Amino acid sequence: MTDGNTDAGDTTGPSAPGNVIVPDDTDFAEQMLNAVNQARAQEQNCGGEIMPAVPALTWDYDLQEAAFRHSSDMANGGFMSHTGSDNSTLISVLPIPVTLPMHGARTWLRVRKIFPL
């Protein structure tokens, strides 16, 4: 396909590596979100800095769709990037306004310092 979308039943292209078992989307999303929220509910040690527990997250289906389309685009195009093959970015493809809270920006900068790109 040329639009970056893939058919979950299509196992012939680069987006379906061998022997991958794809869990039911609902079960996987629910399990992942529960695991993330369990970790968020507890104080965490982040690089020697104690961070307080934070509120639970909820699933964002618009973000899920954008991530799936971008992942499919990269798999089908054979590249890895924060920018799509059509020069799209996450913020440009989401149908809602996106803001980055300052604590999110600080976390991103701290992670970049530990794991430079």
First to last CA, the chain: 30
Write out pLDDT tens, residues 84-105: 999 988 777 776 655 555 555 6
CB within 8 A of 23, min separation 6: which ones? Answer: none
The encoded tokens of residue 32 equal: 């992942």
| Residue 110 contacts residue 47 (beta carbons within 8 Å) | yes
When mean pLDDT is compared across 10-14, 78-82, 93-97, 105-109, the lowest value belongs to 10-14
Q: How many beta carbons lie within 10 A of that of residue 84, not counting itself? A: 19
The model carries a pTM of: 0.50
Write out pLDDT tens, residues 24-81: 667 888 898 999 999 999 999 989 999 999 999 988 888 888 888 889 999 999 999 9
Look-up of token digits 């685009």: 73
